[in-house]
Amino acid sequence: MTKLLQQAFEKASALPEKDQDRFAQFLIAEIDEERKWEASFGNSQDALARMAMEALADYKTGKTKPLDPLSDF
């Protein structure tokens, strides 16, 4: 465990039990969501790289135009 994480847990352990549980639920949810995002992006790297190359090729061949947020949406 890192020193910073240990400090965070020490501070959290001084909170009332209800707040400790709320903090624990938040932390667990954040870790679970991070793992889901990592799995999603980890499985899509090839597709993302291919789309980036296609977008770059479109830009280089003049098939793109500047985005105008006021009129393009």
Return the domain boundaries, the chain. Answer: 29-59
Q: Is the pTM of this model over 0.85?
A: no
Residue 43 has pLDDT above 90, yes or no: no
Q: What are phi and psi of 71, to 5 degrees?
A: -120, -15
- 36's CB contacts (< 8 A; 6+ apart) are none
The confidence band for 57, taking pLDDT boundaries of 50, 70 and 90, is: very high
- Rounded to whole angstroms, the Cα distance separating 67 from 7 reads 46
Single out the residue of 8, 32, 30, 31 nearest to residue 20, CA to CA: 8
